[in-house]
């Protein structure tokens, strides 16, 4: 992209805040939290973008029900896919670039690094209040590639997602070390899948233990942003690509998500 | 690490990659001419060495899933425990999740270190007949992050296979990270001169998980890795108070059952969600010993039996073929 070269900020010039969503562990809900935060922020009147850099397991397109869309080119690069007519929520994911959804992206690091480089510099996001970057688990190629390509642009920080068990918080501790080593500010920790309230008898079962996220925040001196319960309504909304924040505004899960998004927004305002 | 020389620049694509000697970062590297000549792309001699080392291992099983957090490590650990409950069998568990090793904690071995002996690295033993190896044993603190790009991870996996003193084994179980990338390609490549029994694929019931798992199945087909079968984990939750079942992770597209029928794969079993499984893993105990009569433990035992049958059938087929 010639334009990106002449202007160091290129396509990110009009992006106000960049937030990474990280977790050392897989399947803890990084993409779910990214999706719900994006929806909550966009309903709060913000212009939001999601960049999905999970190349081997992209979940964002399905969660926002955008399925197979074509990515178009414009003068300034790739046009992201919008979920709504008002263009409040823009997405870019490798899911949009695959011919067959079952096709495996069997790539080693250097190839992944190259595509992420393009994702960061060549997507024409336009004006955004917040760009959320959803990542795969681990501390490897994808994470280093994102940070390297964002060197010139200010990254506000990272939100870390964990589930309550020790097996998960153990991996997230490593991710915290990654953030410290690479100089990424930690905006806070979110505990997901925290407690399940039986819809039949209202008994709360801590399927994946409890309190791990808060403990981890204390241990590492990070902000605890809140916990999101294990809610079948949330998992089925995510499955079907429905907007949970619109469908169940009275649920405890919704109030947890909206309070997290408010805290996050405030922490972005006062850096 | 063999794949990235010590004197290589930071973005070395790896000496065996397509870009070796040709990428932008190769400019100025002292190895550029050698890499560009293609000599480094010849089969890695380590593959033959690993073949030699693995000749004393009867069965090799990979545990895979495209999706993270579906229970690969939990399953690998319990498969190892169950196989090792027969004291005449020698079992080993290798964790190739380099960035997020969970096996040390699940096996109750946190803080253990690997020892060097004349014949290589000694694995850590849970029991006399159950050996474990993980990068977790090489880290000095639980906060240590392994911030490595692909080639370095591949080097580590090679060392795990070639330089660990595994001894004679009946089963080697390999637990993998999510995805279809460096670790997966490497383990398959490094084991290419040996006989791998096959892969057990783990999924949860939702389509979000299945869509990644289908990719993993494609991967297995691409690299010609036989699939032993699929395990559906976190399949329904029975409330301990009212005994009603809730589908926390709803099988909106028919779950693993439908996927297996579509792709003509055996479904090995469906393991329900049970808070006691997560607790046992956190405490490093075998859930199969803690609550042997629970429905989840019974399903596990049946799955393990099917895997054992598969492995012994394979041996028989091979013997009759020769």
- Per-residue pLDDT tens digits for A19-60: 999 999 999 999 999 999 999 999 999 999 999 999 999 999
Q: Is residue A148 classed as helix, strand or coil in its secondary structure? A: helix
Say if A228 falls within a structural domain: yes
Q: pLDDT at position B246, please?
A: 93
Six-digit token string for B275? 């808070």
The verdict on B151 and B95 lying in the same domain is: yes
Q: For residues A220 and B272, give the distance between their C-alpha atoms in angstroms, rounded to a whole number.
A: 34
Say if A207 falls within a structural domain: yes
CATH classification of the domain holding B230: 3.40.50.300
Q: pLDDT at position A271, please?
A: 56
Average pLDDT, chain B: 93
Q: pLDDT at position A3, please?
A: 44
Q: For residues B211 and B206, give the distance between their C-alpha atoms in angstroms, rounded to a whole number.
A: 9
The verdict on B181 and B275 lying in the same domain is: yes
A contacts of B225 (beta carbons < 8 Å) = none
Residue with tokens 């004393």: B56
CB nearest to A140's CB, from B14, B105, B148: B148
Say if A1 falls within a structural domain: no
Distance from CA of A166 to the nearest CA of B (A): 5
Say if A255 falls within a structural domain: yes
The verdict on B97 and B159 lying in the same domain is: yes
- Number of domains into which chain A is organized: 1
First to last CA, chain A: 31
CA-based nearest residue in chain B for residue A208: B278
List, as ranges, residues 123-152 from B with C-beta within 8 Å of A: 142-151
Q: For residues A159 and A263, give the distance between their C-alpha atoms in angstroms, rounded to a whole number.
A: 12
Is B40 a residue whose pLDDT tops 90?
no
Say if A133 falls within a structural domain: yes
Q: pLDDT at position A176, please?
A: 96
Q: pLDDT at position B101, please?
A: 96
Six-digit token string for A1? 């992209």
Q: Are strands A186-197 and A224-230 parallel, antiparallel or unpaired?
A: parallel
Enclosing H/E stretch for B211: helix B207-222
Decide if B275 contacts B314 (C-beta within 8 A): no
Residue with tokens 């001196």: A221
B62 touches chain A (CB under 8 A): no
Which residues form the domain of A203?
24-269
pLDDT in tens, A222-240: 999 999 999 999 999 999 9
ipTM: 0.92
Residue A99 is given by DSSP the state S
Dihedrals φ, ψ of A76, to 5°?
A: -95, 5
Is A4 a residue whose pLDDT tops 70?
no
pLDDT in tens, A240-261: 999 999 999 999 999 999 999 9
Decide if A95 contacts A52 (C-beta within 8 A): yes
Q: For residues B200 and A55, give the distance between their C-alpha atoms in angstroms, rounded to a whole number.
A: 22
What residues have CB less than 8 Å from B188, skipping those under 6 apart? Answer: B62, B196, B223, B225
Residues paired with residue B174 on neighbouring β-strands, in sequence order: B62, B94
A115 touches chain B (CB under 8 A): no
CB–CB contact A199 B246 (8 Å): yes
Q: pLDDT at position A1, please?
A: 42
Is A5 a residue whose pLDDT tops 90?
no
Six-digit token string for B233? 């984990």
* Mean pLDDT across B119-138: 96
Say if A141 falls within a structural domain: yes
CATH classification of the domain holding A211: 3.40.50.300
Best of B100, B154, B212, B253 to substitute, by most chain A Cβ atoms within 10 angstroms, is B100
The verdict on B86 and B28 lying in the same domain is: no
Say if A16 falls within a structural domain: no
The verdict on B242 and B104 lying in the same domain is: yes
pLDDT in tens, B57-116: 999 999 999 999 999 999 999 999 999 999 999 999 999 999 999 999 999 999 999 988
Tell whether residue A26 is among the known ligand binding residues.
yes
* Mean pLDDT across A134-154: 94
- Number of domains into which chain B is organized: 2
Which residues form the domain of B208?
46-321
Enclosing H/E stretch for B44: none
CB nearest to B66's CB, from A56, A109, A230: A56
The verdict on B23 and B1 lying in the same domain is: yes
Kindly write down the DSSP assignment for every residue of B231-273, as one continuous string: EE-S--EE-TTT--EE-SS--TT-HHHHHHHHHT--EEEEPPB
């Amino acid at each position: 992209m010639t334009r990106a070269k002449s202007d160091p900020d290129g396509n990110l010039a009009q992006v106000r805040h960049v937030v990474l969503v990280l977790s050392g562990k897989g399947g803890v809900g990084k993409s779910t939290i990214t999706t719900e935060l994006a929806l909550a922020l966009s309903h709060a009147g913000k212009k939001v973008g999601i960049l999905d850099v999970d190349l081997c397991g992209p979940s964002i397109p399905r969660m926002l029900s955008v399925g197979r869309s074509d990515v178009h080119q414009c003068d300034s690069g790739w046009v992201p896919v919008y979920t709504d007519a008002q263009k409040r929520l823009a997405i870019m994911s490798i899911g949009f670039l695959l011919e067959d959804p079952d096709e495996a992206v069997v790539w080693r690091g250097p190839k992944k690094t190259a595509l992420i480089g393009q994702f960061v510099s060549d997507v024409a996001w336009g004006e955004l209040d917040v760009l959320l970057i959803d990542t795969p688990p681990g501390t490897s190629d994808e994470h280093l590639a994102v940070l390297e390509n964002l060197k010139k642009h200010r990254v506000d920080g990272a939100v870390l997602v964990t589930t309550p068990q020790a097996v998960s918080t153990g991996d997230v501790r490593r991710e915290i070390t990654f953030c410290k080593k690479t100089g990424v500010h930690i905006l806070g920790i979110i505990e997901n899948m925290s407690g399940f309230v039986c819809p039949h008898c209202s008994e709360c079962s801590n399927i994946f233990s409890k309190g791990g996220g808060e403990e981890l925040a204390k241990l590492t001196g990070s902000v605890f942003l809140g916990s999101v319960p294990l809610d079948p309504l949330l998992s089925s909304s995510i499955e079907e690509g429905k907007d949970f924040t619109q469908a169940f505004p009275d649920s405890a899960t919704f109030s947890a998500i909206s309070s997290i998004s408010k805290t996050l927004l405030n922490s972005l305002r006062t850096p | 690490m063999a794949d990235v020389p010590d004197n290589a620049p930071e973005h070395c694509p790896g000496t065996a990659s397509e870009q070796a000697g040709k990428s932008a970062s190769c400019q100025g590297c002292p190895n550029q001419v050698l890499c560009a000549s293609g000599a480094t792309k010849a089969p890695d001699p380590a593959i033959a060495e690993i073949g030699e080392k693995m000749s004393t291992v009867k069965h090799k099983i990979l545990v895979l899933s495209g999706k993270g957090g579906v229970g690969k490590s939990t399953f690998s650990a319990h498969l190892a425990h169950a196989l090792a409950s027969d004291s005449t069998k020698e079992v080993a568990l290798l964790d190739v999740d380099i960035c997020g090793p969970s096996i040390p904690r699940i096996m109750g071995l946190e803080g253990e270190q690997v020892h060097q002996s004349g014949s290589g690295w000694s694995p850590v033993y849970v029991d006399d007949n159950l050996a474990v190896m993980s990068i977790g044993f090489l880290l000095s603190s639980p906060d240590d992050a392994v911030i490595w790009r692909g080639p370095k991870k591949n080097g580590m996996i090679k060392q795990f296979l070639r330089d660990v003193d595994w001894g004679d084994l009946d089963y080697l179980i390999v637990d993998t990270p999510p995805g279809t990338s460096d670790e997966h390609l490497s383990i398959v490549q490094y084991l290419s001169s040996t006989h791998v029994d096959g892969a057990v694929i783990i999924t949860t019931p939702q389509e979000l998980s299945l869509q990644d798992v289908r990719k993993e199945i494609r991967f297995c087909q691409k690299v010609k890795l036989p699939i032993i079968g699929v395990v559906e984990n976190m399949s329904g939750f029975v409330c301990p108070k009212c005994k009603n079942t809730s589908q926390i992770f709803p099988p909106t597209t028919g779950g693993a059952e439908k996927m297996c029928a579509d792709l003509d794969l055996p479904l090995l079993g469906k393991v329900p969600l049970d808070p006691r499984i997560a607790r046992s893993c956190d405490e490093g105990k075998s859930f199969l010993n803690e609550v042997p009569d629970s429905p989840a433990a019974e399903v596990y035992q049946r799955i393990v039996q099917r895997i054992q049958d598969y492995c012994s059938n394979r041996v028989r087929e091979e013997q009759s073929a020769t």
